[in-house]
Structure formats: C-alpha cells, structure tokens
Amino acid sequence: GENVEQHPSTLSVQEGDSAVIKCTYSDSASNYFPWYKQELGKRPQLIIDIRSNVGEKKDQRIAVTLNKTAKHFSLHITETQPEDSAVYFCAATIYNNNDMRFGAGTRLTVKP
Amino acid sequence: DAGVIQSPRHEVTEMGQEVTLRCKPISGHDYLFWYRQTMMRGLELLIYFNNNVPIDDSGMPEDRFSAKMPNASFSTLKIQPSEPRDSAVYFCASSREGGANVLTFGAGSRLTVL
C-alpha cells in the first residue's frame, strides 16, 4: 500500500514568514494529494488538494506543488499568521479510491 | 446536515473493560472511515466501509478491535478488552462516491484507558 512520509514534524516561523512542509509518497499510481489542517482540539479539515495532472495549485496564501517524477509534493504558506498554527497532514491516494492514508503530520507554530 | 456525529466525545475506562465508539456519517455518504490519532503514530487508518461493507481492515491493530456498520447511518468501533495503549483520539470520517476523496471528519472520541 501507499506509504507517505512528511517533514518536518515541527516547524516554527515568525509571523509574516513563509512555511514549507514536504511529503514523499511511494506508490507511483497515486494521483490525488490533499492537505488537511487540524487546529488544537479540533477535527482535521481539507484546506487544499491537487491532482497529478497539474504541477501547482494556489488558494490565496496557500499553494501546493507536485513533482510526480520525484514522488514528492509540498505545502507552501506565505505571509503566515498566528491562526495558521495547527497540525498539517498530507495524504496520497488514487483519485476516488477512498483509501486515504496520511503522513505523520507537521505541527506549525507561527509566533506573533 | 449536522455533519459526522460521534459519541461519546470523551471516555475514561479501566483496563479490561469493553469500549464502544459510535458514528453517524453524513446522509448520502457512501464511505465511512475509522482513524486513530496518537502523538506517536499520527492519523492511522483502521478500517473503512463502502455501502456498509468493510473494504480494508488491514489497519485494525489486533483481534481486540472490531468494527461494524449495520446500516448506512451507523457504525461502531469496539475494543474488547481495552488496554492503556489504546488511549487515543478516534475519528470517524465519511465521504461520498465520486466525492473526490474529500473526507468530512467527526469531532472525535477521546479514549483514556487507565
């Protein structure tokens, strides 16, 4: 099955700086890569996703990039704000396969 | 829709006791997932169902864990007997067929086994 590795496990940045979280996956058949954000004590929620037919997707201050050849994808958050502080999870799966396996998570802290 | 409903939100029990966690998925969602979250192992997929049928239970830790989905609106995750290492937050999530894999999570059930 798919194996997703995520780095770093913790990340601390100053407000206004950028944050980058990286994931690698093992199954070359995977073609769907979502990112979930989990605020303290809350449930994970989807914030952005990308399919393998594109290399980059943006939504305001967040963007995801995908390198299918190298089997890695990254989450980029620009102009970070304290409310971005959370645990972020990546996942890799086959679109509509519904077998969603997550990376270990990255705890992002944005210092005001 | 009220979203994915889980109960109980918190459970404290003693080692050896049976624990039953409950989940009501979003109406119309064909897939239901049980995840376990711990600091050490992150979000682990335990089992998932499609149209009430278990599809993949390879993540279920051992025979002490069992999950059922008797109908489209209800699922249970049972641990018998419970052990301290089962302490975790258990999330239920659902998604719909062709729903681009978007998972909607419940609020989670925090289990503490003493």
Residues B46-61: tens digit of each pLDDT: 999 999 999 989 889 8
Tokens 């780095």 label which residue? A7
A96 touches chain B (CB under 8 A): yes
Residues 6+ apart with CB under 8 A from A72: A22, A23, A24, A25, A66
Res A94: pLDDT: 80
C-alpha–C-alpha distance, residues B21 and A37, integer Å: 24
Residues B46/B34, Cβ–Cβ less than 8 Å: yes
Judge whether residue B15 has pLDDT over 80.
Answer: yes
Q: Do A105 and B42 touch (CB under 8 A)?
A: yes
Residues B102/B4, Cβ–Cβ less than 8 Å: no
Instruction: Give the one of A101, A104, A105 whose C-beta lies nearest to B45's C-beta.
Output: A101
A103 touches chain B (CB under 8 A): yes
List chain A residues with CB under 8 Å of B106. Answer: 43
Residues B110/B11, Cβ–Cβ less than 8 Å: yes
Res B101: pLDDT: 72
Measured CA distances, B35 to A67, A72, A96, A110, B52 (Å)? 28, 24, 18, 27, 17
Interface-testing mutation among B5, B34, B103, with chain A (most A C-beta atoms within 10 A): B103
Res A98: pLDDT: 67
C-alpha–C-alpha distance, residues B46 and A62, integer Å: 30
What average pLDDT does this structure show over B26-40?
92
pLDDT 10s digit of each residue in chain A, 112 long?
778 999 999 999 999 999 999 999 998 889 889 999 999 999 999 999 998 888 899 999 999 999 999 999 999 999 999 999 999 999 998 876 667 788 999 999 999 9
Q: Do A34 and B102 touch (CB under 8 A)?
A: yes
